[in-house]
A and B are shown apart, each in its own frame.
Chain A
Amino acid sequence: MSDAAYNLKTDRTILNFGPQHPATHGTLRLVLELDGEVVVSAEPHIGYLHSGFEKLGEYKTYNQWVTLSDRMNYLSPLCNNIGFAQAVEKLIGMEIPERAKYVRVILAEMSRIADHMVWLGTHALDIGAFTAFLYGFQARELLYVIFEHTTGARLTTSYTRVGGLFRDVPHDFKEMTYNFLNYFPGVLKELHGLLTRNRIWVDRTRNIGYLSREDAIELGVTGPTLRGSGVEYDVRRNFPYLIYDRLDFDVPVCDDGDVYSRYLVRMEEVAQSMKIIKQCIDDLPDGPVSFFDQKFALPEKEKVYDTIEGLIHHFKNIMPGHGFEVPKADIYDATEAPNGELGFYLVGDGSHKAYRLRVRPPSFVNFSCFPHISKGAMVSDVVAILGSLNVIAGELDR
């Protein structure tokens, strides 16, 4: 090419990426400013999926709001259920039965696996590897069968209630879980076989979307994105809740800070989740899954049918304006959801509804690092970077 061609002045191009783009997974929009193929700046526009969940929290009772939490991170609804119920329980200052704790941990870890499987499938699909998507989804389907039998729905699980769970796990829960645990290592091996040492995958993800340790901390990023930058922070480890402090597992971290390291961290997390499920299911205690006799949870059905106290408790709990009351206090409580720290900030005003309900969604905070890490990347890498953050629009916009 002649020198003149190099000296040609080019204008910057503005490219709209999304909100209806197959790789945006939900409705999020990026405005990319391009200099040729290189991203000069990326500006996320959010709010396309805003549904007013937080505002609705001021109108629904605590137990009714559980149904809305399903719809936030729709890849792992059980983690949202558990996080929310736990925040309310902490506000009230109540303990839940041991069995409920174990079941919550098992289901939360299963959701983590399901979430990471979808993440891996779609992330790989965006980059061009189709096969991993199919195998990941098949594994996820088995988990969804377990969820369906346990909670009664595949996605809108609404399984937790303040004080425990709304019903016990099915009689063959253990068997189904062991079945899954036997099957899943094979899938994980196949996925590693397809991707981990595949040069195309490595070329597309190595040294892309670099997020340094300092920037990650500064931007408030959590979850696998933070651990992919080498920071050893996991709510399960730093602020143990439920029974995590009694369990034996590793928190994976990787120092590289690129898309590939986030992939490695997530894949290892899946393996660790299996370890956690194995430990919990081995010594799953018997007993109730909710404190039925307290005034916070609905009494058992037999008591409602046969005793007058049961019936009164039952009516008191449901009648508008009579539900259980929480203290006048505020609280922030966080759990480790698949994407990072999922926090709930609740202000109770002494009634049966929250005065203010605020969610700290991991996707929202993680997404804030996107303009930073996509600067200087090629257009085709934008998809890889976006995929590695696993931004869930339902949770991002709430």
Chain B
Amino acid sequence: MIKVKKLTAPDLNWSEKAYLPNIFKGMGITLRHMPKKKFTVQYPEEKWVPRPGYRGAHRLNKDEQGRIKCVACEMCSAACPSNCIHIIGGVSPWDDREKYPVVFEIDMLRCIYCGMCEEACPREAIELTQIYDFAAYSREELVWDKEKLLAQFEVTKNNDYYETHTPKVVKATAVNPND
């Protein structure tokens, strides 16, 4: 049942009209917050660790033999809303597939981290990782090529990038509002 609720503006009583009592009441609310645990994360000394499933920087996955999984089907670049994946396919040197990417570039500055490439990939070859801090000094550095994307796989395959790269981390699961 959706009902309508009439609201009326309250009339202030004399103590509320006198400013001061209410100022102290407000101060009381603030004071109650003072001993509480700090809610903010002290970046960059501390870093927030998003959960797996977070849509951060990409990686290209490798199979058990350490070869690139991608078969250059270009589904990801077709699905990409910002047209930032650039692939040139070539004849694969391995027997179990026909194609592999000779060039695989993602323009990290154009990318909007929507995850549609991951969704579109039929081979689980491209994936978004938890990494969110990868600023660089030039635009060229942020066009990630195949080597860089494969190197990302090595540092993120255990889902512990932040634990191993940062002195102190704040786990996403540790946020307890009642502290």
Contacts and interface: CB of A to CB of B under 8 A. Distances in A.
A131 B53 contact: no
A248 interface: yes
A39 to B, nearest CB: 24
B9 A260 contact: yes
B4 A254 contact: no
A113 B120 CA distance: 33
Interface residues of B, number: 46
Contacts of A247: 2
Contacts of A156: 112-114
Contacts of A265: 7
B6 to A, nearest CB: 6
Interface in B15-64: 16-19, 22, 25-26, 29-30, 33, 39, 50-51, 53-55
A60 to B, nearest CB: 6
B81 interface: yes
A141 B176 CA distance: 11
B12 interface: yes
Given A193-B25, A315-B75, A251 B122 contact: no
Contact of A199 (B9, B19, B53): B19
Contacts of B119: 166, 298
A236 interface: yes
Nearest to B32: A190
Interface stretch (A14-22, A144-152, A387-395): A144-152
A301 interface: yes
Nearest to A68: B81
A265 B55 CA distance: 36
Interface string B130-154: 0000000000000000000000000
B172 A194 contact: no
B177 A194 contact: no
B78 A320 contact: yes
Contacts of A236: 2
A250 B3 contact: yes
Given A153-B54, A197-B22, A64 B9 contact: no
A237 B2 contact: yes
B79 interface: yes
B177 A179 contact: yes
B101 interface: no
A242 B1 CA distance: 14
B81 A64 contact: yes
Nearest to A232: B4
Interface in A235-292: 236-237, 240, 244-245, 247-256, 260-261, 264-265, 268, 272
Given A152-B54, A252-B7, 4 more contacts: A158-B116, A182-B177, A198-B16, A236-B2
Interface of A: 60, 63-65, 67-68, 131, 135, 138, 141-142, 145, 148-149, 152-153, 156, 158, 166-167, 170, 179-180, 182-183, 190, 193-194, 196-200, 202, 206, 232, 234, 236-237, 240, 244-245, 247-256, 260-261, 264-265, 268, 272, 298, 301, 304-305, 311, 314-315, 318-320
Interface of B: 1-10, 12, 16-19, 22, 25-26, 29-30, 33, 39, 50-51, 53-55, 75, 78-79, 81, 112-116, 119-120, 122, 124, 128, 172, 175-178
Question: What are the 10 closest A-B residue pairs judged by CB atoms, nearest first?
Answer: A250-B5, A183-B177, A152-B55, A64-B81, A254-B7, A237-B2, A67-B114, A252-B5, A264-B7, A318-B79
